[in-house]
Amino acid sequence: MTETLATDILILGSGGAGLFAALHAKQANPALEVTLAAKGLIGKSGCTRMVQGGYNVALSDGDSVERHFMDTIVGGKWLPRQDLAWRLVEGAVERIQELENEIGCFFDRNPDGSLHQKAFAGQTFDRTVHKGDLTGIEIINRLMEQVWARDVRRLEDHRAVALIPDRAGAALAGVLMIDMRSGDFRLVQARAVLLATGGGPTMYLYHTPSGDKACDGLAMSLRAGLPLRDMEMVQFHPTGLLAGPDTRMTGTVLEEGLRGAGGWLLNGAGERFMTEVDPAAERATRDIVSRAIYTQMRAGKTTPLGGVYIEMKHLGPESVRDRFKGMVERCADSGFDLAGGRVEVVPTAHYMMGGLPFEIDCTTTLPGLFVAGEDSGGVHGANRLGGNGVANSTVFGGIAGETMARWIAAEPQLRDPDRARIAAEIARCRRPFDLPAGDLNGLRERLLQLMWDDVGILRDRAGLERAIQALDQLDRELAATGLPDSEPAFNLTWHDWLNLESQILVSRAIAAAALAREDSRGAHYREDHPETGDLEKSAYTLVHQNGQGLEVAMKPVDFSIVRPGQSLIDQAPGHAPPTP
């Protein structure tokens, strides 16, 4: 039995993208019924709350949106969709003012009262606005207050499991969800649906995203026949805390500002190695630093726990304590002295540049479905600059809210859901209840290890082919593995099973795209194809499900604003590029 709810707008996810979408939809039309659903607690789940370093925005004299744009394109190795990247950098200026002046965020300031902006790696200007080193909590708490002040229906501990088309298969009719507290299925019929479940590469041995994220949004998109862009582009943050296998602190991020401020990376022998790798040394982009660390690890030049060290004490322990209070405390919790000693770190899977392709107004190819935040693909190309993630989710989340309000004005009817599809999706989700119980954790550990070993920081054909076979094998084993408990209410093992199903499918998409891309760009490095390739012929990957298999196509990048070899920042200040 499925309960049905109807709403104007259904938002999946309560991170920066979801909350901004709710707010802007209500601002556009307060009469709209907006339903906010999240797999965890609203405002407490997802990664926006975990944002440490801060928010990139061009505000200061000497900086410009053109400069921020060029940093984003060059950092993204010419793969970003340029009109989206432009919208991001332009929209960040508007959004940071909204966050401060309308939403009530307090960010750190300079003595003259202007916003303090710190250095982040890979950028030619210090433009990262922050609240100490725990910026996300400020953003999400203030945003929640604004959303709560409006009439928004909340569905907490509600997991979306399938996008349900209308009977003609031409548009989205709603979303099938599981109320995790009761275990009941619930169909939410909606005029417009926002996918904002926040991607999140939690299928790697070391990873940073929140535990509620399992790439469900991306898996639902693939199952609905939608393509995903740039899936091979998985960003590893160079400095995940390495505190041993018995603590969940391992893999959590030590923020980019540490390297931005002048922190050093040392191998197990205490040697600084980044100076040999890149002129920017530790301030090189995340892909370069992660590869350099991994190379040290492969050469056996490791710390006792198998990583490298970060050291800050040459900057003055007092100053480090003052500037990076949250990080110092996090390290102390795991027995490390960040201010005066060395901390063991390891690259950790952090962010998915890939996701669902979308237009500048957040529409997708499926009428009625919109996307924003880390579920979307195309803004960052091959590498996301630190600080561009939360800008992405808040800028496009707000845009999505406005677009959905407009869409509903033009398409006011609820669409009739495909009942056969609902039944099939419920049967898929309930399958493990009818199977003999098995070792789900063993499957999960094999997934994490194989993705780290063969689809991680350094890749080659042999490893990727091995991974694709292993993923197919895991998929078959999961399909034969059941649950020890038949009670669906708050059955976390059931949700582990569903998590693994999503993670394996999306891992297959990552591996397939990585095999198809025979060059090395940003986060994707093929040891058997180390060359970048001709930038003028840049192409992005598009993967979609075809029956049980996955197909990958390469599509040319449209250099709609600037071509490789050109730049916008040589031009006069204030120059606006052609409208994309």
Interface with ligand FAD (CB under 6 A), residue from 7, 10, 11, 13: 13
Q: How far apart are CA 113 and CA 293, in angstroms?
A: 39
> In terms of Cα–Cα distance, which of 389, 388, 348 is closest to 237?
348
What part of residues 33-62 is at the interface with ligand FAD (CB under 6 A)?
37-40, 45-48, 50-54
The answer to whether the beta carbons of residues 144 and 99 sit under 8 Å apart is no
* Catalytic residue list: 237, 259
The answer to whether the beta carbons of residues 521 and 514 sit under 8 Å apart is no
The answer to whether the beta carbons of residues 5 and 27 sit under 8 Å apart is no
CB of 459 to ligand FAD, least distance (A): 23
Q: How far apart are CA 85 and CA 560, in angstroms?
A: 11
Interface with ligand FAD (CB under 6 A), residue from 127, 191, 213, 283: 213
Part of the chain binding ligand FAD (CB under 6 A), chosen from 386-394, 477-485, 533-541, 571-579: 386-394
Interface with ligand FAD (CB under 6 A), residue from 173, 390, 426, 447: 390
Residue with tokens 């659903």: 37
What part of residues 152-181 is at the interface with ligand FAD (CB under 6 A)?
159-160
Closer to ligand FAD at the Cβ: 302 or 503?
A: 503
> In terms of Cα–Cα distance, which of 403, 133, 105, 120 is closest to 238?
120
CB of 41 to ligand FAD, least distance (A): 8
Interface with ligand FAD (CB under 6 A), residue from 387, 398, 417, 432: 387
CB of 380 to ligand FAD, least distance (A): 10
Q: How far apart are CA 307 and CA 251, in angstroms?
A: 11
The answer to whether the beta carbons of residues 561 and 580 sit under 8 Å apart is yes
Taking CB under 6 A as the rule, does residue 196 contact ligand FAD?
yes
Report the residue closest to ligand FAD, judged by CB: 15
Residues forming a β-bridge with 188: 5, 175
CB of 384 to ligand FAD, least distance (A): 8
Q: How far apart are CA 488 and CA 495, in angstroms?
A: 10
The answer to whether the beta carbons of residues 82 and 559 sit under 8 Å apart is yes
Part of the chain binding ligand FAD (CB under 6 A), chosen from 107-115, 205-213, 324-332, 454-462: 205-213
Interface with ligand FAD (CB under 6 A), residue from 393, 491, 499, 507: 393
Closer to ligand FAD at the Cβ: 229 or 526?
A: 229
The answer to whether the beta carbons of residues 13 and 166 sit under 8 Å apart is no
Interface with ligand FAD (CB under 6 A), residue from 75, 165, 198, 456: 198
Q: How far apart are CA 197 and CA 54, in angstroms?
A: 20
> For residue 351, what are the contacts with CB-CB under 8 A and spacing of at least 6?
199, 201, 234, 235, 237, 374, 384, 389
Part of the chain binding ligand FAD (CB under 6 A), chosen from 210-218, 270-278, 291-299, 480-488: 210-218
Part of the chain binding ligand FAD (CB under 6 A), chosen from 341-349, 389-397, 404-412, 568-576: 389-397
Residue 426: φ, ψ to 5°: -65, -45
CB of 461 to ligand FAD, least distance (A): 31
Taking CB under 6 A as the rule, does residue 212 contact ligand FAD?
yes
Q: Which helix (H) or strand (E) holds 345?
A: strand 342-352
CB of 305 to ligand FAD, least distance (A): 20
| DSSP code of residue 529 | B
Interface with ligand FAD (CB under 6 A), residue from 7, 14, 383, 403: 14
Over the window 323 to 362, marking each residue x when it contacts ligand FAD by CB under 6 A and - when it does not, the resulting string is ----------------------------x-----------
The DSSP result for 178-206, as a single string, is: EETTTTEEEEEEEEEEEE------TTSSS
Q: How far apart are CA 65 and CA 76, in angstroms?
A: 16
Q: How far apart are CA 449 and CA 349, in angstroms?
A: 12
CB of 99 to ligand FAD, least distance (A): 13
CB of 108 to ligand FAD, least distance (A): 13
Closer to ligand FAD at the Cβ: 15 or 76?
A: 15
| H-type alpha helices, 334-385 | none
CB of 445 to ligand FAD, least distance (A): 21
Taking CB under 6 A as the rule, does residue 197 contact ligand FAD?
yes
Helix then strand then coil, in percent of the chain rounded to 5, is 35, 20, 40
Part of the chain binding ligand FAD (CB under 6 A), chosen from 191-199, 267-275, 304-312, 458-466: 191-199
CB of 237 to ligand FAD, least distance (A): 8
Q: How far apart are CA 401 and CA 392, in angstroms?
A: 14
Interface with ligand FAD (CB under 6 A), residue from 253, 277, 284, 568: 253
Over the window 470 to 499, marking each residue x when it contacts ligand FAD by CB under 6 A and - when it does not, the resulting string is ------------------------------
Part of the chain binding ligand FAD (CB under 6 A), chosen from 6-14, 99-107, 227-235, 336-344: 6-14
Name residue 175's amino acid: V
> In terms of Cα–Cα distance, which of 350, 372, 342, 383 is closest to 523?
383
Q: How far apart are CA 188 and CA 539, in angstroms?
A: 37
Under rule CB under 6 A, how many of the chain's residues touch ligand FAD? 41
- Which residues lie near ligand FAD (CB under 6 A)? 12-18, 37-40, 45-48, 50-54, 159-160, 196-198, 208-209, 212-213, 216, 253, 351, 373-374, 386-391, 393
